[in-house]
Amino acid sequence: MEVKKVCVVGASGKLRRSMVQHALDRGYEVVGVCRLPPSALAHASEPA
């Protein structure tokens, strides 16, 4: 079976959690792209 892939642009934004989870729930491999530096990503999993 072929792996479905999706890129979520703005992965640190307000819709990130629902968009990424939506894709994961449907079997997609998700790559998130954002403009935040890596040090800021530690907070990306916190609710907005």
DSSP string, the chain: -PPEEEEEETTTSTTHHHHHHHHHHTTEEEEEE-SS-GGGGGGTTS--
Q: Would you state the pLDDT for residue 22?
A: 92
Q: Would you state the pLDDT for residue 14?
A: 74
Q: Would you state the pLDDT for residue 35?
A: 76
pTM: 0.60
| For the chain, domain boundaries | 4-43
Q: Would you state the pLDDT for residue 12?
A: 67
Q: Which positions of the chain have pLDDT values less than 50?
A: 48
